[in-house]
């Protein structure tokens, strides 16, 4: 069979995504640090990847040498604004240095302004006895977030025009207020929706503020988009459960941005100022859930989500390798927002031994290429992640890096996927030779005779 190659449009962004708390280390003034001290995570973040100690330099060198031309990172609100009436100019200067560091290495920065963490003073504000709620439960957080965004964008605008207001607002709300895995560990579905509505208000305020400061900015957010498949498509109950979960997980923010009314299975929230507030859609895609009706699970609204038995599972069972789901996600995005640019802001798999990652990477990039060939406007791909980092409540049990990390010694370990991804970035595409070299087990599937 002749060699095949799947190329991407000129100027396509290829990079990795990271988040402040997961890589910086010694982030002691936010809700996640508190959560770690309370023993709610498998491990503590500690030094993480020691980016705050300066190791971002060597990691950006690695990324640049591996052909990456972009990087998505987040800034930590609690460092920039350690108290309501205090700005830390030195912290802003460090972020400026990081962004300069990316430019010096020929990489385009994408900056997220909120990636799961809140300063302790935000986490603790409000007085639940008066019904005002804490953190994002309380609408009073919206102008505070806007103020932080204004200050940060003013300081960083010289080096960045591509902004992500909030990372995975749906995961923030559902994990913090429904499953209870994230702080504050509540299980209250109505509250989860109120938090989501406030995040949408925060996003809208940030969108407008950024454009006021920097008219040429491109502003979006990162949606964790999770396709859901009914266990038995012929079963009306499975389909019903699938639809409820699908809209509950995925559609709150998108409906709010389309119409100004955030639709959820638990009711609608009017957020008129959110209408039209995105210049691109950020898609974080990892996997697809199978959903079945299950009478034994009243707390999960009588449904069960799982991966099929035959799934190509990651070592901790966290992710099933279902590359077609990325194609479906992009198709959904461009149907929902015709012509709106799409960035894959996260995609990856936890795999310390790098057995699954090469095929996961190649197969997902293949599906993204299929989407690009429908002229759907996918403009870039950010792999999660560059180096193993602190995976929230799962601590260090999951290794998502192209490079491995020993958090004790800070030693980086090059995994074979580094070279596969480098070849893809340099080629601006994927070739059959790469698949043959790095993941021959899927060669036949990807290039049938």
Member of 50, 118, 346, 393 binding ligand FCB (CB under 6 A): 346
Give CA–CA dist 358/355, Å, rounded: 7
Number of residues that bind ligand FCB (CB under 6 A): 12
400 binds ligand FCB (CB under 6 A): yes
146 binds ligand FCB (CB under 6 A): no
Residue (361 or 435) nearer to ligand FCB, CB: 361
Q: For residue 119, what is the DSSP state? A: B
What are the structure tokens assigned to 175, written together? 């994990």
172 binds ligand FCB (CB under 6 A): no
Pairing of strands 342-346, 378-383: parallel
Q: Which residues contact 104 (CB under 8 A, 6 or more apart)?
A: none
Residue (125 or 281) nearer to ligand FCB, CB: 281
Long-range contacts of 401-407 (CB under 8 A, 24+ apart): 402/16, 402/66, 402/357, 403/59, 403/62, 404/352, 405/49, 407/46, 407/47, 407/48, 407/49
Residue (256 or 401) nearer to ligand FCB, CB: 401
167 binds ligand FCB (CB under 6 A): yes
388 binds ligand FCB (CB under 6 A): no
Long-range contacts of 271-278 (CB under 8 A, 24+ apart): 271/197, 271/200, 271/201, 271/204, 273/201, 273/204, 273/205, 273/208, 274/200, 274/201, 274/203, 274/204, 277/203, 277/204, 277/207, 277/208, 277/219, 278/207, 278/219, 278/220, 278/221, 278/337, 278/340
How near is the Cβ of 348 to ligand FCB at its closest, in Å?
7
How near is the Cβ of 373 to ligand FCB at its closest, in Å?
27
Member of 293, 384, 403, 438 binding ligand FCB (CB under 6 A): 384
19 binds ligand FCB (CB under 6 A): yes
Residue (294 or 354) nearer to ligand FCB, CB: 354
The total number of residues written for the chain in this structure: 449
**Residue in the structure block whose two tokens are 């039209």:** 276
**Residue in the structure block whose two tokens are 């599972």:** 313
Q: Which stretch binds ligand FCB (CB under 6 A): 36-44, 100-108, 163-171, 351-359?
A: 163-171
Q: Which stretch binds ligand FCB (CB under 6 A): 131-139, 165-173, 272-280, 324-332?
A: 165-173
Member of 24, 146, 354, 391 binding ligand FCB (CB under 6 A): 391
Give CA–CA dist 261/62, Å, rounded: 44
Backbone angles phi, psi at 406, to 5 degrees: -100, 105
How near is the Cβ of 101 to ligand FCB at its closest, in Å?
21
Q: Which stretch binds ligand FCB (CB under 6 A): 142-150, 154-162, 167-175, 292-300?
A: 167-175
Residue (226 or 366) nearer to ligand FCB, CB: 226
How near is the Cβ of 390 to ligand FCB at its closest, in Å?
9
Give CA–CA dist 281/205, Å, rounded: 17
- Give the helix/strand (H/E) hosting 221: strand 218-224
How near is the Cβ of 382 to ligand FCB at its closest, in Å?
11
Closest by CA to 170, choosing from 223, 131, 103, is 223
72 binds ligand FCB (CB under 6 A): no
35 binds ligand FCB (CB under 6 A): no
171 binds ligand FCB (CB under 6 A): yes
Give CA–CA dist 216/301, Å, rounded: 44
168 binds ligand FCB (CB under 6 A): yes
368 binds ligand FCB (CB under 6 A): no
Sites for ligand FCB among residues 209-268 (CB under 6 A): 224
Residue (14 or 400) nearer to ligand FCB, CB: 400
Give CA–CA dist 263/249, Å, rounded: 11
Instruction: Give contact residues for ligand FCB (rule: CB under 6 A).
Output: 19, 22, 167-168, 171, 224, 284, 346, 384, 391-392, 400
């Amino acid at each position: 069979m002749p060699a095949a190659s799947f190329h991407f449009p000129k100027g396509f962004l290829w990079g990795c995504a990271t988040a402040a708390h997961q890589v910086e280390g010694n982030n002691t003034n936010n809700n996640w640090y508190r959560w770690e001290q309370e023993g709610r995570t498998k491990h503590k973040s500690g030094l993480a990847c020691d980016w705050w100690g300066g190791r971002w330099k060597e990691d950006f060198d690695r990324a640049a040498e591996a052909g990456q031309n972009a990087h998505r990172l987040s800034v930590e609100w609690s460092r920039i604004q350690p108290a309501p009436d205090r700005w830390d100019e030195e912290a802003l200067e460090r972020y400026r240095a990081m962004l300069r560091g990316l430019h010096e290495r020929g990489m385009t920065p994408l900056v997220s302004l909120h990636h799961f963490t809140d300063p302790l003073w935000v986490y603790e504000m409000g007085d639940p006895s008066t019904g005002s709620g804490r953190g994002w439960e309380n609408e009073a957080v919206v102008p505070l977030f806007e103020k932080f965004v204004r200050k940060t964008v003013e300081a960083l605008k010289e080096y960045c025009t591509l902004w992500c207001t909030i990372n995975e607002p749906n995961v923030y709300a559902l994990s913090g207020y429904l499953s209870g895995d994230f702080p504050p560990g509540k299980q209250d579905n109505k509250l989860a929706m109120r938090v989501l509505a406030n995040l949408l208000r925060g996003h809208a305020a940030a969108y407008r503020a950024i454009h006021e400061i920097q008219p040429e900015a491109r502003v979006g957010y990162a949606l964790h988009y999770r396709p859901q498949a009914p266990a038995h498509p012929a079963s009306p109950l499975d389909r019903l459960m699938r639809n409820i979960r699908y809209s509950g997980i995925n559609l709150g923010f998108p409906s709010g941005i389309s119409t100004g009314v955030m639709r959820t299975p638990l009711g609608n929230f009017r957020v008129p100022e959110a209408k039209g507030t995105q210049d691109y859609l950020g898609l974080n895609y990892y996997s697809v859930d199978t959903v079945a009706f299950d009478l034994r699970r009243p707390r999960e609204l009588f449904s069960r989500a799982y991966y099929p038995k035959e799934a190509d599972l990651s070592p901790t069972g966290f992710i099933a390798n279902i590359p077609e789901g990325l194609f479906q996600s992009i198709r959904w995005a461009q149907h929902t927002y015709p012509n709106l640019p799409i960035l894959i802001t996260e995609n990856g798999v936890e795999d310390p031994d790098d057995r699954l990652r090469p095929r996961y990477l190649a197969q997902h990039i293949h599906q993204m290429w299929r989407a690009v060939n429908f002229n759907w406007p996918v403009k870039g791909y950010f792999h999660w992640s560059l180096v193993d980092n602190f995976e929230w409540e799962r601590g260090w049990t999951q290794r998502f890096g192209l490079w491995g990390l020993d958090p004790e010694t800070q030693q980086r370990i090059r995994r074979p996927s580094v070279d596969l991804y480098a070849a893809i970035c340099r080629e601006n595409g994927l070739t059959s030779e790469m698949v043959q070299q790095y993941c021959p087990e899927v060669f036949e599937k990807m290039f049938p005779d």
